[in-house]
Amino acid sequence: MTFFMLQVMAQEAEETSGGINLILPDTDELIAGIVAFLIVFGFIWFKGRHWIGRLLAARQEAVTSRLNEAEQAKVEAETLLVERRKEVAGAQDEANRIVEEGRRSAEAIRAEILAKAKAESDETARRSREGIEADRERASEQVRDLVAVLSLELAQQVVAGSVDADSQQALVNRYIDELEGMPH
């Protein structure tokens, strides 16, 4: 390969400067150079082969490790994503549950308030009916009392004017007769 490069360079120099001989060494020099090059190359190959292999292996291992890490990170990220999605879904469910619970609570409170209002309304109506009934009963009693008092006064006047002495004596005699008829 190096030799080929030298030929290419010589050709280029030939073309630009007017002759390959201006740059090409002598054949001996060239052979010595090639041999020197091969020796150096062989030395380097012998000595640096393992080091380069280790370097490449380390490099490969590092790359592999990074790839693994990247893969792991990707897996973790995907796992995290799944978890986050689950969490989001859970949060959504929780939110739905809370909303549903709130709706049920609101419904229960509404029903309770309605029931309480109805009970109070019924109680007020009942008391009103009782009050009206009591007022009616009172008024009725007052009328009865008034009728009774007026009747009694009228009766007293009639009796006072109609019971003569004979009737008075007859009343006393009847009283005595009733006394005599009482059990001892």
Q: Which residues bind another protein (CB under 8 A)?
A: 141, 144-145, 147-149, 151-152, 155-156, 159-160, 163, 165, 167-169, 171-173, 175-176, 178-180, 182, 184
Q: Which of 53, 31, 33 is nearest to 41 (CA)?
A: 33
- Least distance between another protein and beta carbon 178 (Å): 7
Q: For residues 11 and 169, which CB has a smaller minimum distance to another protein in the complex?
A: 169
Contacts (Cβ under 8 Å, ≥6 apart) of 37: 2
Cα 77 from Cα 75, distance rounded (Å):
5
What one-letter code names the amino acid at 71? E
Residues 121, 42: Cα–Cα separation, whole Å: 112
Find out whether 20 and 6 touch, Cβ atoms under 8 Å. Answer: no
Joined together, the tokens standing for residue 19 give 């002759």
In the complex, the smallest distance separating the C-beta of residue 137 from another protein, rounded to whole angstroms, is 13
Q: 16 or 162: whose CB is closer to another protein?
A: 162
In whole angstroms, the minimum distance from the beta carbon of 139 to another protein comes to 14
CB 133, min distance to another protein, A: 18
By beta-carbon proximity to another protein, the closer residue of 109 and 148 is: 148
Strand, helix or coil at 164? Answer: coil
**Residue 1 C-alpha from the chain's centroid:** 74
Residue 71 or 145: the one with the smaller Cβ distance to another protein is 145
Query: Whose Cβ is closer to another protein: residue 68's or residue 173's?
Result: 173
Q: How far is the CB of 155 from another protein (least distance, A)?
A: 5
